[in-house]
Chain A
Amino acid sequence: MSLKGKRILIAKPGLDGHDVGAKVIALALRDAGADVIYTGLRRSPDYIARVAVDEDVDAVGLSILSGSHRELVEETVRCLGELDAGDIHLFVGGTIPAEDRDALRDAGARGIFTAEMTIEDVVAAIDADLGG
């Protein structure tokens, strides 16, 4: 498994300040060979989409633990679309109740990850999705 050559943006949209998961995943993806960029806290979907395009990333991972995942995922997808960047793969991690997951997938999330999954599985899923 190698993410060598892949560029991934890990982002914290909205006001949620819980960044442990984002940082743990960012470190793991980097260990797996990816070039990882982390936005830091409190970024708007518009900002995240622009960074994703400017940095020419293959994937964006959104970390959301505030219960605002529906709105923030939909908004990020919309902003990426406006920048003709709909081909960038989107993943979501955080506190995502089971009953919300179909809606996130319908909105364009290609993987949904929660705290109880192993890091290995999360990295493997991203690797598989990016054709690694």
Chain B
Amino acid sequence: MLAMNYRGPQRVRVDHKPMPEILHPEDAIVRVTRSCICGSDLHLYNGSVPDTRVGMTFGHEFTGVVEQLGEGVEKLKVGDHVLVSFNIACGKCVFCQQGLYGNCHESNPQATAVGGIFGYSHTAGGYDGGQAEYVRVPYADVSPTVIPEGMDPDDAVLLTDVVPTGYQAAEMGGIQPGDTVVVFGAGPVGIMAARCAWLFGAGRVIVIDCVDYRLEFARKYAPCEAYDFRSLEDPAVFIKRTTESLGADVCIDAVGAEAAGSALQTILGRKLLMQGGSATTLHWAINSVKKGGILSIVGVYGPIDALVPIGNLVNKGITIRANQSSVKRLLPRLIEHVQNGVLDPKALITHRIPLEDVSDAYRIFSAKLDECIKPVLMPSSVRS
């Protein structure tokens, strides 16, 4: 089968790889119908996630048709078209039982700090991902959900990560009616977080980024105020001035390790990899949020330390809430929102690219070429 093959920082290609096999009674083999490239895949692509091994296949946002089932799978049948949450979750451990499906303790031997994630390095379990024609899906009674009848597969594939992550970013913000919410990052997750902030009753939503076409997209899609931080003297001062000098009630970090905006952070976090990514967004968010405010983090960082103004965090009494999204917990509500037209995920998709052109797809997304917001890889089996 054809599959994306990581060859080193900023080098990927498509190769023939062996078909995945059932390795556990609760496994399924899924023929992929759509697979996205996620902003967090770019951390892998740029070589900033430890234990990203050459030869691995990335991809944690995908839909597919069930081709084969292990003998222990009870809820799926061959031929089901499923969306597969990016979390690999057993559904039994103490964390899954509490709804923390992103923190499963039975899916990742290599690290205790993160649960298993498809195609996301050995630090997240060493699973090959969905940027391929076929993929092994463990815990098939838990992670996949049959796509509801009538739902557009383009909507479904974005329910595997982007929508729940954006939604959970807003949810973790504990937004109260009338609150001012600042979202750092106008990538797909940031745009979705801004859109979802309204669902929790935000009174004002502001997005900060530096890519003009994405800011323009956010203004229309979210809809919200959107500003280029390069035109602001200091984002923290700007936020204070625009919020009666007190700061935002809630700040959301939807950027993570690849943040631009500070030469020091860029050199230490992105070029020298001496910290777990560039923490510019965290720095701005801590300094922009109101005293007693809430900082919600869904941006992905590496496992080592990062420079943040911890003193301000303490002195301002900020509550930090952060996690990988718990897709399975959120899906019922989000499916409802999509079916009722409250959310329109597929509008984020700007590029449909053949799986065979995965190298170009990564370049287009990472370099933000051709006004790309969200690229979807299409295997040959679903291309007309």
Q: Do A and B bind each other?
A: no
Residues of A within 8 A of B (CB): none
Chain B residues with a Cβ under 8 A of chain A: none
